[in-house]
Amino acid sequence: MINRLHLLKEYIAILDKNGLIAEMRIPEETMEKKVNYVSFNSQDIRYDTLFICKGVHFTVDYLLSALDEGAFAYVSEVKYDREAPNAPYIIVNNMRRAMALMADLFYNQIWKELTITGITGTKGKSTTTYFMKYILDEYLRDQKKPVSAVISGIDNYDGVINEESHLTTPEALDLHRHYDNAVRSGIEFLTMEVSSQALKYDRTYGITFDVGCFLNIGTDHISDVEHPSFEDYLAAKMVLFGQCRIACINMESDYAGMAIDAAAGKAEKLITFGLKPEADLYGYEVEPGKRGISFRVRCDSFDEDFKIGMTGLFNVENALAAIAISYGLNIPMEYIKAGLKKARVSGRMEIYTSTSGELDVIVDYAHNQMSFESLFQSTKKEYPGKKITIVFGCPGKKAFGRRKELGEIAGKYADKVFITEEDAGEEPVMKISQEIASHVHEYDCECNIVVDREDAIRQAIETADDNTVVLITGKGRETRQKRGTQYVDTPSDVEYVETFLAEK
């Protein structure tokens, strides 16, 4: 809650204290000016705004527009003396960290009034986040309190904003705005996904999570524009344990030991979970069903039955993570059980069946090596003997390794593949699709490139017989495609599936 506006000199002091100021030109009288707003969006300017120059597509025109609309000074890594000769400026050597500190000051560390859980991992972040939301909401409703807030790769809810997400973890200013909205709405708990990019580039810098949870890590996001190496990716994930009070760690991960070491001496409490008996919370007697999974969990204080209303054996680990987090937060058992049983995650393992009852189509967000491998393995176990058709694509200008990894996994497990558009952005869909197809072709698998996603899903369903299960992955219930630099409205995969199944 913005209950105090700070002087510009206070922003300068905190940037200087952290060694971030390279140069500045601020008249003495401007030092005493109150900063009414902080923004990096030239279309979101109020009077006396401190404007932040950032972004891949930033041009000086954005700065000039901001100054015209009411910005009185700018913060940048680049000086614009020629274009804006009279504008006061602060030149910083690390814009990401500077922005996090400015957001923290502007919103007066509002995050301290929330109980925040941060969840990181290559796969399962969204599902675990929503498992937590269902658990917390069961608990909060019983106390007649507002439901919890969520920030995820699917959508964001903070009591004021309810929107489809474009970034797994928002930029620092947007993140602190969500915190502020949540507190103003009377919300007490917030669960969020924390991406490796957010940790590497300081979007959560300065925040202390009440619980930090590590699920797993695979070889994803390795590229010139994300993480140059797996070691860099792994190091980014470990940053979370330097800023959490309670650390929850999945013992099923090959890097659980590194996570435990990272949390040692930093977190106040460590809780491990997994399917190994040595975990603090140990899951066992896993029994899959067509519409859910039952299992037991044992720890030092209980040995209880649980059930999740979602398929996919990999979701047991996500449920164990949510139980561990809830245990750390002292959520009563009845709400943990009730929340998990009711939990549904939009676009995650959603099963749609033909009118004949023989053809199942599964819509899932699986989009990287780990999630693809898990989805196929789970499908093989839950639909023994059935053929698999899959529809998928890869995003443009990021995670380039996925094209090989997903192509190889699809070729290895699927009987028929349809490659299509999936947020291609500034890359041609056909170019991306052909790269993926070159790896599918290494296996004895039928491969089709159908650029139009609607047509790809239609063909996959129309050509599937009753001995086939169809997987539609990557987009779930998202209603936009990134084309160029814009997000264009489109029907969701779920809408396409429901339409074409009704015609089959």
Same-domain status, 394 and 311? no
Same-domain status, 420 and 381? yes
**What local confidence, expressed as pLDDT, does residue 225 receive?**
61
CATH code of the domain containing 66: 3.40.1390.10
Residue 229 lies in a domain: yes
Q: Which long-range contacts (CB under 8 A, 24 or more apart) does 27-36 make?
A: 27/88, 30/72, 30/73, 30/88, 31/7, 32/7, 32/8, 33/7, 33/8, 33/72, 34/5, 34/6, 34/7, 34/8, 35/5, 35/6, 35/7, 35/8, 35/11, 35/106, 36/5
What is the pTM for the complete model shown? 0.81
Domain boundary among 342, 359, 383: 342
Same-domain status, 48 and 30? yes
pLDDT tens sequence across 303-320: 999 999 988 888 999 999
> How does residue 326 score in pLDDT terms, banded at 50, 70 and 90?
very high
pLDDT tens sequence across 364-406: 988 888 889 889 998 998 899 999 999 999 999 887 889 999 9
Rounded distance between C-alpha atoms, residue 400 and residue 377, angstroms: 23
Same-domain status, 91 and 229? no
pLDDT tens sequence across 281-305: 999 999 988 778 999 999 999 999 9
Structural domain for 57, as ranges: 8-106
Same-domain status, 169 and 298? yes
> How does residue 18 score in pLDDT terms, banded at 50, 70 and 90?
very high
Same-domain status, 100 and 247? no
Q: What is the DSSP-derived secondary structure letter of residue 255?
A: T
Same-domain status, 65 and 191? no
Same-domain status, 115 and 101? no
Q: Which helix (H) or strand (E) holds 334?
A: helix 333-342
| DSSP secondary structure of 117-157 | EEEE-SSSHHHHHHHHHHHHHHHHHHTT-PPPEEE-SSEEE
Q: How many CB atoms are closer than 10 A to CB 461? A: 24
Q: Which helix (H) or strand (E) holds 191?
A: strand 189-193
pLDDT tens sequence across 431-464: 999 999 999 999 989 999 999 999 999 999 999 9
Q: How many CB atoms are closer than 10 A to CB 103? A: 27
Domain boundary among 312, 342, 372: 342
Q: What is the DSSP-derived secondary structure letter of residue 110?
A: G
Same-domain status, 362 and 461? yes
**What local confidence, expressed as pLDDT, does residue 15 receive?**
98
Rounded distance between C-alpha atoms, residue 104 and residue 203, angstroms: 11
